[in-house]
């Protein structure tokens, strides 16, 4: 990995210092500055991690200029076409797609773990019925650590495997229970005769009084949505999971931290925010007004579902999601849906606008995923929970990669202190306890 080339840093008044350059399999070379502080007494300043690789990883690769996303080397387009979500989960975890036997075993293990501890159902009762489901998710997923203690021995590979299988299996149940709780409907036990995503739809939309069979077109669409969201290298929530895990915290606590981060509107919360924005715009005639607001420096409004830190050409997930969107709307007879038409108009105008062209702002995955999920019948507040369900696979795999890395250290960024210089407490302040 070490390149022949060296980077030389010249700081006024100091001797030049050399750093190795590391060449990855794909992507930008990295200057290895781990010895910078020892050699120069200086830190680097890179708030927002605009130029910093925080770890080595073998899991996912994004080429933002090409609009390319690879899981373990496979293009997302091929995975979405040929594999289901559990195949992709296996691939992310084990590095290879499963053969027939491995697949059968993995599916069987996941099915075995779909139920949650009966006591967990009581845990939900502590939340207000109108609590945001993501708040419930943060609490319930974090609470898994109170139910499954053996997860605390991370040095044991088998325990890590069990934690992975367990959390992948239970997330659909937990998400569906969060939904049922808000609706005031009874929780549905999983049906293990159904596939992973069909079972999730059953737990969401079924009820004990009526027969419910998931629609295969919608199951296929939702399963693909899961695949598209399964991992996305070192994004904010994944970095949160890694940072939380770097202290040795248990994986359930780390995933809960990741869910909290994902919730924000600049990240996974964008799908909910995007749909709310479309509702607020309301009509095609108002699109120019909102485009104008998005461009106004003095207005905090942003076009939700547009822009990405890494993709500067197009988001390949958005391209696939656009196709899924058309399929789902057709299946549901919603081709003339008001919000979909509005979204298409907004997309068209934004893509032709000089501001968006110049800043390389394209629709991202969240621009379409909200419309698809709404058409499937999933309520807006559940959108980010669906994202969290899928991303849990990536978070768990990234967490495990981190703690298995021989170079692993607790994450501890430094800072550029800009506060008040050191001073003494004035004598007038005397302790009175």
Q: In the complex, which residues of this chain contact ligand CMC (CB under 6 A)?
A: 232, 235, 266-268, 270, 294, 302-309, 359, 361, 364-366
Long-range contacts formed by 67-73: CB under 8 A, 24+ apart: 67/311, 67/313, 67/314, 67/315, 67/316, 67/319, 68/316, 69/232, 69/316, 69/317, 70/26, 71/230, 71/231, 72/96
What is the smallest separation between the CB atom of 297 and ligand CMC, expressed in angstroms? 7
Residue 377: closest CA among 152, 240, 233, 206: 206
Nearer to ligand CMC, 50 or 410 (CB): 50
Which residue is at the shortest CB distance from ligand CMC? 307
What is the smallest separation between the CB atom of 383 and ligand CMC, expressed in angstroms? 11
Work out the number of other CB atoms within 10 angstroms of the CB of residue 45. 8
Nearer to ligand CMC, 106 or 367 (CB): 367
Whether the Cβ atoms of residue 31 and residue 7 lie closer than 8 Å to each other: yes
Nearer to ligand CMC, 65 or 213 (CB): 65
- DSSP string of 308-332, one letter each residue: -SS-SS--HHHHHHHHHHHHHHHHT
Residue 272: closest CA among 384, 372, 131: 384
What is the smallest separation between the CB atom of 84 and ligand CMC, expressed in angstroms? 22
Residue 187 belongs to what H/E stretch? none
What is the smallest separation between the CB atom of 143 and ligand CMC, expressed in angstroms? 25
Q: C-alpha angle 418/424/427, rounded to 5°?
A: 145
- Helix then strand count (H, E) for the chain reads 18, 6
Nearer to ligand CMC, 151 or 270 (CB): 270
Whether the Cβ atoms of residue 53 and residue 36 lie closer than 8 Å to each other: no
Nearer to ligand CMC, 70 or 304 (CB): 304
Whether the Cβ atoms of residue 77 and residue 320 lie closer than 8 Å to each other: yes
For 223, residues 6+ apart whose C-beta sits below 8 A from its C-beta are: 84, 85, 195, 196, 197
Order of strands across the sheet with 17-22? Answer: 2-9, 17-22, 30-31
Does residue 308 carry a catalytic annotation?
yes
Nearer to ligand CMC, 61 or 147 (CB): 61
Of 132, 229, 232, 308, catalytic: 308
- Could you tell me where the beta strands, DSSP code E, fall in 15-86? 17-22, 30-31, 60-63, 68-71, 74-75
What is the smallest separation between the CB atom of 125 and ligand CMC, expressed in angstroms? 31
Whether the Cβ atoms of residue 152 and residue 160 lie closer than 8 Å to each other: no
Per the document, the length of the chain is 433
What is the smallest separation between the CB atom of 172 and ligand CMC, expressed in angstroms? 21
What is the smallest separation between the CB atom of 306 and ligand CMC, expressed in angstroms? 4
Nearer to ligand CMC, 157 or 266 (CB): 266
Nearer to ligand CMC, 361 or 385 (CB): 361
Strand partners, 17: 9
Going from the C-alpha of 53 to that of each of 22, 115, 299, 317, 355, the distances in angstroms are: 11, 38, 32, 23, 29
What is the smallest separation between the CB atom of 176 and ligand CMC, expressed in angstroms? 23
* Residues designated catalytic: 308, 366
């Amino acid at each position: 990995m070490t390149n022949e080339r060296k980077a030389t840093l010249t700081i006024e008044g100091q001797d030049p210092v050399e750093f190795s350059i590391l060449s990855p399999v794909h992507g930008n070379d990295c200057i290895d500055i781990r010895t910078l502080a020892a050699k120069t007494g200086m830190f680097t300043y890179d708030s927002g991690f605009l130029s910093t690789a925080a770890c080595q990883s073998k899991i996912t690769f994004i080429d933002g200029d090409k609009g390319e996303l690879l899981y373990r080397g496979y293009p997302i387009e091929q995975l979405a076409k040929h594999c289901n979500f559990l195949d992709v989960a296996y691939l992310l975890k084990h590095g290879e797609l499963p053969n027939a036997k491995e697949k059968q075993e993995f599916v069987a293990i996941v099915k075995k773990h779909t139920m949650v501890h009966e006591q967990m159902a009581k845990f939900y009762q502590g939340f207000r019925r109108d609590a945001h489901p993501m708040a419930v998710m943060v609490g319930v997923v974090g609470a898994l650590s109170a139910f499954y203690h053996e997860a605390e021995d991370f040095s044991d590979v088998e325990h890590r495997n069990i934690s992975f299988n367990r959390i992948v299996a239970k997330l659909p149940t937990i998400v569906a229970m969060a939904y049922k709780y808000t609706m005031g409907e009874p929780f549905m036990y999983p049906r293990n005769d159904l596939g992973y995503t069909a079972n999730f739809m059953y737990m969401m939309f079924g009820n004990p009084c009526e027969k419910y069979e998931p629609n295969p077109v919608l199951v296929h669409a939702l399963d693909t949505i899961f695949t598209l969201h399964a991992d996305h290298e070192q994004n904010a929530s994944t970095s949160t999971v890694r940072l939380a895990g770097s202290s040795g915290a248990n994986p359930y606590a780390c995933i809960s931290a990741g869910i909290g981060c994902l919730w924000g509107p600049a990240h996974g919360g964008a799908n909910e925010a995007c749909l709310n924005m479309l509702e607020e715009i309301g009509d095609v005639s108002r699109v120019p007004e909102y485009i104008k607001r998005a461009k106004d420096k003095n207005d905090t409004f942003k076009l939700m579902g547009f822009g990405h830190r890494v993709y500067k050409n197009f988001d390949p997930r958005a391209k696939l999601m656009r196709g899924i969107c058309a399929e789902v709307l057709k299946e549901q007879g919603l081709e003339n849906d008001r919000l979909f038409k509005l979204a298409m108009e907004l997309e068209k105008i934004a893509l032709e606008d000089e501001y968006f062209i110049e800043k390389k702002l394209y629709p991202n995955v969240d621009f379409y995923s909200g419309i698809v999920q709404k058409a499937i019948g999933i309520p807006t507040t559940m959108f980010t929970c669906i994202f969290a369900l899928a991303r849990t696979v990536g978070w768990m795999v990234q967490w495990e990669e981190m703690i298995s890395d021989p170079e692993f250290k607790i994450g501890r960024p430094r800072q550029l202190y800009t506060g008040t210089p050191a001073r003494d407490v004035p004598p007038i302040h005397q302790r009175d306890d």
